[in-house]
Structure 1
Amino acid sequence: MTRTTAPAPPAATRRGLLVVGTAIVLTGFNLRTSVNSVGPVLEEVELGLGISSGLAGLITSMPVLCFAVIGFAGPPLAARYRDGHVLAAALLVMTAGLVGRVATTSVWLFLLGTVATMAGGALGNVLLPGLVKKWFPHRTGLLVGAYGTAMAVGGAVAGVSTAPIAAATGADGWRWGLGIWAVFALLAALPWLLVPRHPRATQGGHTAVRLRALASSRLTLAMAAFFGLQAMQAYVIIGWTAQYLRDQGMSAAAAGVLVGVNALIAIPLNAVVPMVTVRAHLQRPMLAGFMACYLAGWTGLLLAPLTLSWLWVTLLGLGMGTFAMALTLFGLRGRTPESVAALSTVAQGLGYAVAGIGPLLVGLLRGLTGGYTGMFVLVYAGVALLFVTGWVTCRERYVDDEVPGLTGAAGPQPAAEVGVAGTEPPVTVLPPRR
């Protein structure tokens, strides 16, 4: 596959690069704290707000729905304002949301606060890959690995420590368990205010890649389904396995630790899976391995939830390697950086909208039946569909061949800042046409 790389920027000061690198890593730490902290205290949230399982399912679905919607605001905001200012504002809004949602007894204000909380995560996911490409063009792997590791650590710490914090702070301790992450969001916002203007920044306008044409691409729809189904598995695991284990008799702290295991497993997976995925002949065998892990993990939780619980959760964590696989496949299914970015943006946006249905359905079905049969039916069906759509996306083809003139112009495009690594839609900014 032919790769186009952005030219290296003029030399920036070491101090400026240090500030940017610190800001990127601190932001990465906060990308999953507000998501992973809810599951371990979901029961306390239900009781504290006096809500049904259906509304609890909505709470667990809110993050992924916000990622699907808010993420698309990143490129327009970055085109109009400085990236650092956009992320500083997003993290400050996140701080306010984290504090606001635990200071209310209204479920609707809690949900509104959750939307604000997701601003930092959604925009951070969108903008960080492009910022790494812009400031560290020759150290992209190092910086993406650094903030990816920070993201995994933040998610794991939040999953493991939220329940103990809630237990240690007495009545309504869940509010402290969820609200304490506002401190870290605030700390992450501060370095962005010190980030200097990039040496190549200009006052010119920007033209974004056209995305509507991808609606007719079968590859785009297949990849959206694959990405959405793997994300649904992940958010059901993050949002509901802790509560499921607690309902089977496990302590809140132990259940939270097991959920944190998933985030820890993501660290080596995110490093190894992309290197295997680029080898076409290994894609389908690896996909089958992930499906076997999902099936074994879910079956273990269904039949023996309190026996070898760590093994079942570990297997589910290995199955979640489909996330890194999906991100890598985006880069393999486009001929140019622009087509890769367009495919990734549309497929991930649609995929997260699909994924948000999963945790919501689990909550509704639990409320209707009083149990988790509906959850297991949903995840088993999801694994089957994930295997089918993954098998399709592993066939070597290119979105460019299905959508001619994807970028809206014939011939080569000017050099672009393209970020494809990360967790949500990437940023693509093209220089103005002349």
Structure 2
Amino acid sequence: MTTDEVNESAPRSPTDPPRAPLRGVRRTAVVALVLAALNLRPGVTSLGPVLEEVRDSLDMSGSVTGLVTSIPAVCFAVVGSTAPLLARRFGASGVIAVAGAVLAVGLVLRSFAFDPILFVVLTALSLAGIAVANVLLPMVVKQRFPDRVGAMTGLYSMALNVGASSAAALTVPLAQAFGGDWRYGLGAWSVLAVMAVPPWLILARRRTDRPAGSTGGAAGPPPATGGRLSRDPTAWALTLYFGLQASAAYIIIGWLPQIFRDAGLSAGTAGLLFSVSSLLGVPLSLALSAVAGRLRHQSGLAVAIGACGFAGFGGLWFDPAAAPWLWAVLLGIANCSFPLALTMIGMRGRDSTTVARLSGFVQSIGYALSIPGPLVVGVLYDHADGWRLPLTFVLLLILVQIAVAVPAGRDRQIG
């Protein structure tokens, strides 16, 4: 058995000591992580730049549009909660490979939808695949790179932002290349999803751990431990922080291009501004995760990032067209709360098993808490004259996020 196979199959000690995988397998794991991360956002961020065209084509109301922007949080909360159990039964690599295939199929079928309800259902299908990978990647990092959690989290967070910004910037040009049809712009991202499947299949074939219930089971949480997390104040602080940052992030993803377009900017410019907010996360995620991994406390970083988000949304409240590039930059910095939250999850858990439990707990409940945010923004947008009332609601959410950042970033390990 190779050293890497031992990494997946053998039970880990409470201190989770680093193990050295074979160089070739470790490289495959890096490629797999990057490709999976590239696909964690295009299914979502590709929609914003063509949202107006989708609404017009499918006769979609603002409330239904708000539901569409809430689907990622719903899928991550409901489907993501099953990911640790699936990984325990079938192995993380195989589950992520299947999740990538589900994502690709969902993206293709969504581009053929001619009914708003069908569009919602197929969006949910594609995002179900994303939800599973979203929860399992922190666990894979802790398993395969236990001595480099911060750096590897930063690497796949950087790839995540590359995927998000590319989808935001290129969806409109892709649609225009095919006669301006939004269906081609959205469907094209299924190709990237297909590319992510082979390396995870390679890793899955090397897995030798036994099914759940055997003594050699690998990646999942023992069922009896879930209650312990529900009584841990640090776990709840992380959950609240994660949920609030996710709510703000999906409001940005779902509505930022529309805010700029309503202010008189073109669809292409709005998509470019949104891509800037995502593209900033490429260098910042890598640097921030590496720095956060060396700090005992991450509270100061979390508060500073939240302050940037408050300033960015405040600028949109004042006048989106006054300094759109500045607002986009500030919101891009605010989006770094996601890789910071992932880094804190990896650092709060003592070993890969605890990280898997904590990741599932924080992300499933956190995303459930984030569901109302984009939906409320859509309802307020439908019934308000302009964006000031919806953005006031968002600013209140950011203030709460800043408050819970302090206990979430304290130096305390769980497990």
Q: Could you tell me the TM-score, scaled by structure 1's length?
A: 0.82
Once the two structures are TM-superposed, the CA of residue 398 in structure 1 deviates from its matched residue by: 5.3
CA–CA separation in structure 1 for the residues paired with 2:241 and 2:329: 22
Q: 1:421: which partner in 2?
A: none
Aligned to 2:85: 76
1:58 Cα offset (Å): 0.6
Q: Is the 8 A contact 1:276 1:282 kept in 2?
A: no
Residues in 2 aligned to 1:169 and 1:143: alpha-carbon distance in whole angstroms: 38
Alignment RMSD (CA, Å): 2.8
The residue number in structure 2 matching 1:250 is 265
Aligned counterparts, 1:297-312, within 5 A: 297-312=312-327
CA contact (8 A) 1:102 1:178 kept: yes
Structure-2 residue corresponding to 1:4: 15
Q: CA deviation at 1:142?
A: 5.8
In the alignment, does 2:341 pair up with 1:330?
no
2:193 counterpart of 1:180: no
1:222 to 227, 237, 242: 237
In terms of mean alpha carbon deviation, does 33-42 or 348-357 score higher?
A: 348-357
TM, length-normalised to structure 2: 0.85
2:68 matches 1:53: no
Matches of 1:116 and 1:27, distance apart in 2: 17
Moved beyond 6 Å, runs of 4+: 279-282
CA distance in 2, matches of 1:273, 1:143: 12
Q: Distance in 2 between matches of 1:321 and 1:68?
A: 20
- Contact kept, 8 Å, 1:38 with 1:60, in 2: the verdict is no
Q: How does 1:382-421 map to 2 (within 5 A)?
A: 382-397=397-412
Taking structure 1 as reference, are residues 142 and 346 closer, same or farther at Cα in structure 2, changes over 3 Å only? closer
- For 1:260 and 1:357, how far apart are their aligned partners in 2? 24
**TM-aligned CA deviation for residue 133 of structure 1:** 4.4
Matches within 5 A, 1:9-408: 12=22, 14=24, 16-135=25-144, 143-170=152-179, 173-195=181-203, 197-198=205-206, 201-202=209-210, 204-205=214-215, 206=217, 208-209=221-222, 210-277=225-292, 283-333=298-348, 338-397=353-412
The number of residues matched between the two structures is 396
CA distance in 2, matches of 1:372, 1:63: 22
Cα distance between partner residues in 2 of 1:17 and 1:398: 27
Q: Matches of 2:132 and 2:44 in 1, distance apart?
A: 15
Deviation at 1:284, TM superposition (A): 4.4
How much has 1:105 moved relative to structure 2?
A: 1.0
Give the unaligned 5+ runs of structure 1.
Answer: 401-434
For residues 291-331 of structure 1, give each alpha carbon's deviation from its aligned partner in whole angstroms, at most 9, with x where no partner exists: 33223212222223123211111011112333233333334
Q: Distance in 2 between matches of 1:282 and 1:212?
A: 26
Distance 1:181 1:214, change over 3 A: same
After superposition, give the CA deviation of every residue in 1:226-257 in whole Å (9 maximum; x if it has no partner).
21111111111111111010011111111111
Distance 1:131 1:41, change over 3 A: same
Task: Confirm or deny: 8 A CA contact 2:136 2:356 kept in the other structure.
Answer: no
C-alpha contact 2:55 2:65 (8 A) present in aligned 1: yes
2: CA distance between counterparts of 1:111 and 1:23? 29
The percent identity for this pair of structures is 38
Contact kept? 2:79, 2:128, Cα under 8 Å: yes
Question: Offset at 1:208?
Answer: 1.8
Asked if structure 2 preserves the Cα contact closer than 8 Å seen for 1:28 and 1:151, the reply is yes
**Secondary structure at the residue paired with 1:231?**
helix
* Greater alpha carbon shift after TM alignment, 103-112 vs 51-60: 103-112
